[in-house]
Structure formats: C-alpha cells, structure tokens
Structure 1
Amino acid sequence: MLQAIGLTSTPRRDLPPAVDDLTFEVRPGHVTALLGEPGAGKTTALRLMLELEPGRGVTYFRGRPLHRVPHPGREVGVLLGDLPGNPVRTVRNQLRMLCAAAGVPASRADTMLEVVGLAGLRDQRLGSLSLGMERRVGLAAALLADPCTLLLDEPGAGLSPRERGWMHGLLRGHAANGGAVLFTTDDAKEAVRSADRVVSIEAGRLIADQDAAEFARTRLRPRVAVRTPHAARLADVLGREARAAQRAVEVVAESGSRLSVYGSSCAEVGEAAFRHGVLVHQLADETGDAGIPPALPRARAAEGGGDGATTATDGGGGDGSRLRGDHVDGERDRHGCSRRRRPATGVRRVGGPLRPLRYELHRVFGTATPALTAAAVAAVSVIVALVVARTGHTPQNRLLAAWPQAFPLPPAALGAGLLGALAFGEEYRYPALAADRGTVPRRMGLLTAKLGVAAALALLLGALAVIADAAALNLVFDRGPLRPPAQWLVPAASWAGLLIGCAWSGVLASGVFRSAAAGLAAVLAVPLAVVPLVRKALDGPSAYPVSGLAARLRGLAWAQWPPEADRLVLGALRVMAQPVGTALVLSLMVLLCAYGFTGLRSRVRW
C-alpha cells in the first residue's frame, strides 16, 4: 500500500508550487495511472514520494516513510528518466552493480535480462541501446530486488504500441502477484487501457481519483473505428443518413483510410457501407476521447486520433506472469502487500557489511575509468619527472612524486581526487540508486565503502606513479638523479597521506555538492585557496612549542610501543604541521561536517 498525503513541493519564484496538497493512494494488486498534461506535476510528485525533491507532505510505503525503510531498493522499484546509467557501462555490469546495491545475488541480473528479453544484449553498452531497449533495462533494474511497489515516470513515452503493450503486460504481472504499481502518463487512452485506477491531476492538484471503468464513462466515449479505401465517400454517406434520421453522429477523418465514428455502432456503420457498396477493411468498437467533461472542467482531453483504447483490455502484448512465475501468493500483511513465499530458486537476500563494498567495487570497475586514469597519471607523471630531473635542484622525494614547486598537486594526487569525486558524482549524474539516493548514500556503510575503495585506488595510483617515475629516471639518466634513501618510512607515510586526503576530499565534496566537478574543484581548492590561508596563519614564531609530544603520547598509551614508532608519529605530526597537510585535515573536517549536516537535513520532513 502506497499512501501519498499532502505532497507539496517548494514554491518557485513568483510561481505556485508544482505539486500542491496532493493526496491519493495506490492499492496492492492494482495498477494506478497518474494522469496529467505535461507540466501538471507528475514527475515532481514522484520525486516528492522518493524524497528527492524538497517540500512538505509524506508518503508511506506499507506504513513507513522511505527514510525509515531499512532497504529502500527492496521496497520500491523506480524508473525515472530515459538513461538508466553511465553510457559506457554494459547492460550486465549495470544490473550486477544494482544487484550489489540492493543486496541480491548477482545471478539475478541474468534472470531479469531473460524476463525483459535482453539476454542477447547483455554485453551491449547502455549508450548504444534504442529507447525501447533502455526502457527494458530500466524495468529490469526496477524489478531486480522484487520490490513491493513500482514507481515509473512515463514508461511508455516514445515506445511503439507493441512495446507499450508488452510493458503494461509486465506491470500487470507484477500487480497480479500483490505488488502496487504507479506510472505517470499524459494519454487518457493509455491510462484506461493499462490501469485499474486513474488519478487525474492538473497544476499539481488532485482533480479526480476514479476506477478505470468510471473514468472511461465520464472522460471517454465509445466510437467505431473504420478502415476503408473510400473514407471520404463513407463519411459523406454516414453524414447524409444521420441527417435524414435526425441522429447526432460525428465522423472524424483520422488519416487517408481511417475514420472514427461517434454516436453510432458497428452494425449501423456496416449496414450503411453495405447499402452503398463501400468496401470496408476494418470495423471495430473502440474507446475514444470525449473531450473535457463537466466533472473534470480543466482536465486534459486526449486527441481523438490515433489508436483507441478498449476499456476491457488489460494492456495485452506481454506475458506478465513470467515476472514472478516462481512466487506463490501467501497471506497479506496488515499493509496490504502480499507476503510471497519463495522456493529455493526465488530472490535471495545478500546482506551484511560487505554489501556496500560489493556495490562500490562494481561501480568503480564496471567502466574503464580507473584504468584510463591510471594510464594518464603514469604518463603525465613520467613526463614531469623527466623534465624536472633535467633542471636539477629538486629533492628526490618530489622528483619521484613528479611534484615540482610550480604544481599545486602532483598528477597522482589529482588522479586520486578525480576517482574520489566520481564516487558520488557519477551516481547523481546517472541515477543508479534513484529510490535509495535520499537515504543509502547518507549511511555510514556506503560512505565507509567509498572512502575505503577511494583510499585503495589512491595508494595504487601513488605506487604506480613512483614506480613509473623511478623506472623512467633509471632508464634515461642511469640512476643519476636517484640515491638510496636514508629514511623511506616517513616520506612514504607523507605521500600516502596526501593521496588519501585528496581522494577523501573528492568523495565527501561530491557527496555534499552532488557533482563530480564540484568534488574535483574541492580537491584543487586545497592547495590553491586553503594552503595560502594556513601558511599565513602558521607564519611566525610559536609561543608554545610542541617538542616532546611523541614521548608524552607514549606515556599515555596503554601498551608500550617500540621506539621506532616515535619516528612514524613525528613524521605524521611533521606532515600535519606542513601547510598542505594542515589544509587537507581542515578541509576533510569541514567536508565531513557538511556531509553529516546534509545527511541529517535530508531526513527532516515537514
């Protein structure tokens, strides 16, 4: 059971809210259409239900708002927009990534590809798919976790009648097994053909909430669809006979060979055509548009042309029972959604703390971005190291890092920041977790996974850059610029801290500002804006020196650490005392606080 209560979007400047006090419900076992003309607020209403849009009101999914649902992806399946993910990702990788996010086995991806008829295209890239194939991938993604509720935004837009029939048959199969389905449309005939209930809205306000049969009686009227090579002659014949019999008959020419006759029947039209010798290729009762009825004074009237909608049909075209053929209907819970008992082959839940890590690994390595970034970092780092080595007067640590004084950050740090910025930025650009975006990315589990994966990638980039630089310098200069280091632990810790700090800054900034570009800009802002301020604050003598801090820390420890650890502690303190280290620490603290604040704010509902 889905209950939307008082949904109201934030008012726009000098304009009324796109959705204003919208209240309705979607019952389990039924398909509900949210009908309205373009701009009526349908998409905004769905985003308000999913807590992706600021505003007031609440939506209960089986008695709980979305931010109170432990695993939203398992409760709500969502299809918003046309592109289901990054265009360079393959269909199978996209679904396997979403399987990890939803906590279901990766094999579920292949099962759903079979259901939506895309098993042969599993290795195709998303950017190469047609619109109809993209919608099938989107439906497969929405159904991965076998959710109780489906929310679909204009799922049939741009599809052929056959594809729309298949899709609505799939949705009926989901509803027949106890699920609740809500889809938006601006076509009244599609709503009648495919839904059990029609919720009509205009200017963001509820106009009517009716059964599909009642909606068809008040909004639509029956017509006779005729196909004939002599359409103009038959229209003239029907008009003359209607005037002679003083009957109200309206004949509308749909195309060169098609007529829609309102106020008559198949028998009357067929007899008139037979009497006057007019050849007829098709004669069928359909449901057409009745215009704007008195009960709905401002509701949109669909065009009279095009394919009609037979009220008694169920959306046809697809075998929706395939969707949940392995499920057995059980008793219904107190919220109305059936408790489906599954055999061993059903959807199994894969939980535990590794679920976010699996998702993040699928997200990162599902594209060639890490490999391309590593190759670019290694190439640029080698070139910079060779150029700097020829000039001389550069410390060996900076030479191996390819970090001249003129650069704000070394190439490896910039690459680590870029990969970190994509952690959340890619999700906000290509909605992989539409239902979970308001809740899951704010959880510590997924944040920890992203930080851990970003740190590991940063360390790998740093090691690759140093090894490539050392190999190139040895090859070109025969060990001229390099000397065996007297101490390597402290410089290595400093190098690792810089890389991890840049990666984490990108992760947190992209989560706060919802953009990969903003995440990378935050990484660059550390040396360009924050470091000068820190350097100015640290300039000058200190009245209270911190010498002997390592010895005092050793005295506070429960266990006696080895004397070699003093050097590591002093090295870490020395790094933090440097302007870049201090700036990174301050930036991370600010970003972490901002991330926590935005996460807390996303849970507040008025």
Structure 2
Amino acid sequence: MLQAIGLTSAPRRDLTPAVDDLTFEAPPGCVTALLGAPGAGKTTALRLMLELEPGRGVTCFRGRPLHRIAHPAREIGVLLGDVPGHPARTVRGQLRMLCAAAGVPVSRADELIEVVGLGALRDERLGSLSLGMDRRLGLASALLGDPHTLLLDAPSAGLSPRENSWLYGLLRAHAGHGGTVLYTTADAKEAARTADRVVTIDRGRLVADQHVSAFARTRLRPRVAVRTPHAARLADALNREARASRRSVEVVAREDAGSLLTVYGSSCPEIGETAFRHGVLVHRLADEVGDAGPAAPVPAASAPAAAVPAAATAPGAEAVHAPVAPARGGARGAVAPSATRGPDAAAATPVTATPAADAASGADVVRVPGPAHAPEAAAARGPRGGSAPLPPPLPSRPVRSPLRPVRYELRRMFGVRSAPLIVAAVLVASVALAVPLARTGTTPLPALLAAWPAVLPLPPAALGAGLLGALSFGDEYRYPALAGARGTVPRRLGLLLAKLAVTGGVALLLAALSALADAGALRLVYGAAAAPVPDNWAAPALGWAGLAVGCAWAGLLGAGVFRITIAGMAAVVAVPTLVGPLVQKALAGPSVRSVVGLPDRLRELAWLQWPRQADHWLMAMIRLAAQPVAAALTLSLSVLLCAYLLTGLRRRARW
C-alpha cells in the first residue's frame, strides 16, 4: 500500500507550487496510473515521494515513511528516466555492481537478466543498447532488491507497441503477486488500457481518483478524425446541419494541423455524407477514442461524506481517496494483500469494507485514514482546514550509501577498461623513461626506479594513481549509477572510506609494479649493476608508497569536491607545482632546533619500550614528512578532506 498524503512542493519565489496538497493511494495488487498533461507535476510528485525535493507531506510505503525503511532498495524500485551507467560497462557488470549497492546476492543479476529478456545481451555495452533494451535494463535495476513497490516515471515513452505490451505485462505480473505499481503517463488511452486505477492530476492538484471503468466512462468519449484541405468549409457545414437537426455535435479544429478536424457526437457515415453533399474533398475519415480532458473538481461538501466519487472531490479535501482491492482469496475488508508479503506484516493497514454494489459499479469510496496511520495523516492535512497544522516538511537527503561499499567500488573500478588501460600505459611510460635516464648514470637510484626525470612534476606511476583516484569520483558524477533513480551521487562516509581503501590499494600495487618493471628493464638492458638493491631500501620504499597513495587520494578528493575528473587531476598536479614551492619557501629559513633524539624522548614520555630497530623507521618517517613534496601533499590532502566533509556530507540532495 502506497499512501501519499498532502504532498506539496516548495515553490521558488512567488511561483505556484508544482504539486499542491496531493493526496491519493495506490493499493497492492493493482497497477495505478498517475495521469496528467506535460507539466502537471507527475515527476515532481514522484520525487516528493522519494524525498528528493524539498516540500511537505507524508508518503508511507506499507505504513512506513521512506526515512524509516532500513533498506529502501528492498522496499521500493524506482525508474526515473534512462539508466545511468558508464557506456563501456556491460549489462551484467552494471547489474552486478548494483547488487553490491543493494546488498543482494550476485546471482540476482543473472536471474533478472533472464526475466527481462536480456539473456542474449548480457555482455553488450550500455552505450550500444536501444531504447527498449535500456528500459528493460532499468526495470531489472529497479527489481534487484525484490521490492514491493515500483515507482516508474513515463516507462513507455518512446517504446514500440511490442515493447509496451511486454512492459505492461511485466508490471501486471508484479502486481499479480501482491506488489504495488505506480507509473506516470500523459496518455489517457494508455492509462485506460493498462491500469486498474487512474489518479488524474492537473497543475499539481488532484482531480480524480477512479477505477479504470469509471475513468473510461467519464474521461474517454468517441470522436471522428477528419483530414481535409477545406477544413473550414466542412466545419461550417457540419455545424449548420447539426443546428438544423438539433443534434449535439462539436467540431474542433486542430491548431497544430490546419487540415485536421475532430468531431464529437457524430459518425463516419454522417460526416462522409455531409462532405459529399457540399462537395468537400476528404483525405481521411476514422473513428477514434479521445481524451475529454481533466474532470472539473466539485467541492466535497456537495457530495455525501460516506461515498463520494473521486472525480467529484476537491483537491483540497481532507479525505483520502482510497481504492479498495480484494484481499487474497477474494475476501474483502480484512487486511490488504501487502500484509501477507514480507516480514512487515505488522505495518499493514486495515482496509475498510465496501458494499458489493459500489464495487460492481466502480464507484470510488472516500475513506479517512485509520488508526494505523492517523498521526501521519493528521499532521499531513493541508492549511485549508483553518486551524489544522501544516504538513511536516519533507527532508531532501541523499540516498543511503551502498550496503557493500568495498565490493561496489571494486566492481565499479574494474568493470570498465579504464583501470587496466591506465595501469598498462603507466608501466610502458615508466619503462620508457627509466631506460634513457640510466644512460648518464647521474640519476639517483630512487628517482631511476620511479622513472622520475627532473622535468616532470611527478613520475608516471604517481600521475596514473592520481588519475585512477580522480576517475573514482569523476565517473560517479558523470554516470551516477548509484543515484540514477533517486537523485545525485551519494557522498556518504561509508562510500568515501571504501573509495579511499580501494584507490590506496590500487596505488600501492601500481607503484610496486612500476618499480619492479623499471628494475627488470634496467637489469635487462644494462646488467645487474644498473639497479642494485640499496641497504636502506625501506625509507625510499616508504616514500614511494606514500607518494603514490597521496596522489591517488588527492585526485579522489579533488574530483569529489569539484565533481569532475579534470579537477581531481588538477589537484594532483598542483601539489608539486604550486603547493610544494610555497611550502619549500616557508621552510627555507635557518633552523636552530633539531629533532635528533626524538625516539628516546618519546620512549621516556610514553613509558614504552620498543625495539631499537624501530628508531630507524621512525626517523625515516620524520625525514620523509619534512620533505617539501611530502609536506605539500599532506597539506593538500588535509584541505581537500575538509572541503569534502563540508560540501559533501550534508543532509541535502544535490541535483
């Protein structure tokens, strides 16, 4: 059961809110269409339900608001627009990555690939999928967590009739298993053909909440489409004959097509005979079913309080338009079907029984929310009730971080060819630089193994690590796989820690591989004497590892703050070119103090007894931190981390 109560968007300046006091229900076991013309507020209503836009009101999914659901992906499946994902990632890789985000087994991806009919395209890249296949992938992404509720924004837009038939067949199957389906559409005929309930909105306000049979009876009426080069003559003839015979005939000329007429209250034979009598050439004459437009709302006080057709209920009424669905087994009145689905049976809402006559006639019954959700309903009623309080505000917040962030980040990084190609390019460039540097014999061994000539601000491995770190957040913002359904990329602490761990590990691996590749190439070209193992190898190795990891983290945090990959690379290059010289200038003054003897003083201060060999490692770390590049890198990371925490970890969705 989905209950939207008093949804009201926050207007900008003096503009009218896109959604104004919208209240309706979508019952389980039914497909509900949210119908409205373009700009009526359908997408805004869905975003308010998902707490992606600031506003007021309450949306309960099986009796619980979204912020009280521990795992939203297992309760709500969402499809808003196209599937956001890296175009080079495969269908199977995309779903496996989202499985880690939703915390479901990887086997679920393979199951849904078969369910949505993408078995033959599991290894196809997202960039090569057609619109229909992309929509199938979007439904598979929405169904990963086996949700009870599906929220879909115009799922059939641009699809062929065959794809439409498959789509609504899948939605009907989901509803047949007790699920709740709510989709938006602007086509009244499509809503009448595919939905069980139709909720009509106009300018963000509720117009009607009807059973599909009542909707078809009140909103759709037959018409005749006529195409003629003499539209004005034919319209005048039809109107004159209708007045003469005292028949109710309405002739509407299409503004966008001057030769097309829409005639209500007549038939093809009658119009053809009229055109023949007046000598009007007709190119097309066809029967159609037209949309009569949104029904005019009637004040709720003019109708009985017990059973009021939803089409005649004012948008500002306090009552909730509640369609009643039969419980499993055909019985009415006990508990909604959602109460028997999943572990949340205690949160089910009782459904008020309706007379059989009302159910047979398709009438809509107004029902005041029961005790199970009375507090939320009382708090959500609009300001039109005089002393009634305003609905509670809807917090705009980013979606939760992935449930398995490390697994998600690994699949995100290695699901495309970018990371392997960067590693291969770094190794080739490192070897290509190290071999010429060794010819002169003047380059120090650490710089030789790192392939770091003086003309470059950083060695290839450090630049490659920075690029991998920048892509870690840059790709998230360019192809927001985590938030394609619910806003922008979630910049949560769990995801940040996972990205830091994964990029740090990859940077260490890249630094080790480049050093080994350079040493192997030097030994092969010049012999073993060209790359000897130094006695104090620990200090250079520690510095090399710290430089690679620091560059990777600088790129990651830079891209996370500025939301673009190039900004992450700029943060990496700025360390030796801008921050480094400033730190070196600040430390260039004479020093009258020395840190010699620091290990002994620390040992006395902490009353600790560590091995004397550890003093060598401690002093090596201190000397390393005193280097201008290390100090500049530490300073840059501190500033970027603070900026990320200030701009990223705010409880506000950014779009």
Q: TM-score, normalised by structure 1?
A: 0.77
Q: Which residue of 1 aligns with 2:381?
A: none
Q: 1:453 aligns with which of 478, 490, 502?
A: 502
User: How far has the Cα of 1:261 moved from its partner?
Assistant: 5.5
Q: 1:385 aligns with which of 417, 434, 438?
A: 434
User: How far has the Cα of 1:224 moved from its partner?
Assistant: 5.2
Is residue 153 from structure 1 mapped to residue 202 from structure 2 by the alignment?
Answer: no
For 2:294 and 2:22, the matched residues in 1 are separated by 23
For 2:166 and 2:272, the matched residues in 1 are separated by 32
- The within-5 A match list for 1:297-336 is 329=341, 332-334=345-347, 336=349
Distance change in 2, residues 1:176/1:266 (3 Å): farther
Deviation string, structure 1 residues 270-302 (Cα, Å, up to 9, x no partner): 9999xxxxxxx9997x63122576559xxxxxx
Pick which of 364-373 and 72-81 moved more.
Answer: 72-81
For 2:464 and 2:45, the matched residues in 1 are separated by 39
Pick which of 144-153 and 177-186 moved more.
Answer: 177-186
Distance change in 2, residues 1:39/1:503 (3 Å): farther
Q: Which residue of 2 aligns with 1:200?
A: 201
Q: Which residue of 1 aligns with 2:527?
A: 478
Q: Give the letter for the 1:8 counterpart.
A: S
For 1:436 and 1:544, the matched residues in 2 are separated by 59
CA RMSD of aligned residues (A): 4.5
Q: Give the letter for the 1:101 counterpart.
A: A
Pick which of 113-122 and 31-40 moved more.
Answer: 31-40
Kept in 2, the 8 Å contact 1:92–1:123? The answer is yes
Distance change in 2, residues 1:49/1:499 (3 Å): farther
Q: Which residue of 2 aligns with 1:519?
A: 568
Is residue 546 from structure 1 mapped to residue 580 from structure 2 by the alignment?
Answer: no
Distance change in 2, residues 1:593/1:182 (3 Å): farther
User: How far has the Cα of 1:74 moved from its partner?
Assistant: 2.1
Higher alpha-carbon Rg: 2
Q: Which residue of 1 aligns with 2:377?
A: none
User: How far has the Cα of 1:533 moved from its partner?
Assistant: 2.7
Q: Which residue of 2 aligns with 1:569?
A: 618
User: How far has the Cα of 1:110 moved from its partner?
Assistant: 1.5
Q: TM-score, normalised by structure 2?
A: 0.72
For 1:534 and 1:199, the matched residues in 2 are separated by 64
Matched position secondary structure for 1:123: coil
Distance change in 2, residues 1:23/1:594 (3 Å): farther
Q: Which residue of 2 aligns with 1:105?
A: 105
After TM superposition, the runs of 4+ consecutive aligned structure 1 residues lying more than 6 A away are 225-228, 234-241, 251-255, 265-273, 281-284, 435-440
Kept in 2, the 8 Å contact 1:7–1:58? The answer is yes
Pick which of 466-475 and 32-41 moved more.
Answer: 32-41
Kept in 1, the 8 Å contact 2:7–2:45? The answer is no
Q: Which residue of 2 aligns with 1:590?
A: 639
Pick which of 374-383 and 523-532 moved more.
Answer: 523-532
% identical equivalent positions: 57
Pick which of 453-462 and 219-228 moved more.
Answer: 219-228
Q: 2:264 aligns with which of 251, 262, 265?
A: 262
User: How far has the Cα of 1:454 moved from its partner?
Assistant: 0.9
Q: Which residue of 1 aligns with 2:301?
A: none
Q: Which residue of 1 aligns with 2:312?
A: none
- The within-5 A match list for 1:408-427 is 408-427=457-476
Distance change in 2, residues 1:462/1:600 (3 Å): closer
Q: Which residue of 2 aligns with 1:289?
A: 291
Kept in 1, the 8 Å contact 2:7–2:55? The answer is yes
Pick which of 155-164 and 57-66 moved more.
Answer: 57-66
Q: Which residue of 2 aligns with 1:322?
A: none
For 1:329 and 1:69, the matched residues in 2 are separated by 16
Distance change in 2, residues 1:252/1:124 (3 Å): farther
User: How far has the Cα of 1:582 moved from its partner?
Assistant: 1.9
For 1:554 and 1:516, the matched residues in 2 are separated by 45
Q: Which residue of 2 aligns with 1:187?
A: 187
Which 5+ residue runs of structure 2 have no aligned equivalent? 276-283, 299-338, 352-400
For 2:423 and 2:129, the matched residues in 1 are separated by 29
Pick which of 447-456 and 480-489 moved more.
Answer: 480-489
Deviation string, structure 1 residues 519-573 (Cα, Å, up to 9, x no partner): 3332223223322332233221345543333333344567633222222222222
Kept in 2, the 8 Å contact 1:2–1:149? The answer is no
Distance change in 2, residues 1:100/1:384 (3 Å): same
Q: Which residue of 2 aligns with 1:71?
A: 71
For 1:21 and 1:534, the matched residues in 2 are separated by 57
Is residue 498 from structure 1 mapped to residue 543 from structure 2 by the alignment?
Answer: no
Matched position secondary structure for 1:434: coil
For 2:620 and 2:295, the matched residues in 1 are separated by 79
> How many residues end up aligned between the 2 structures?
555
Distance change in 2, residues 1:364/1:561 (3 Å): same
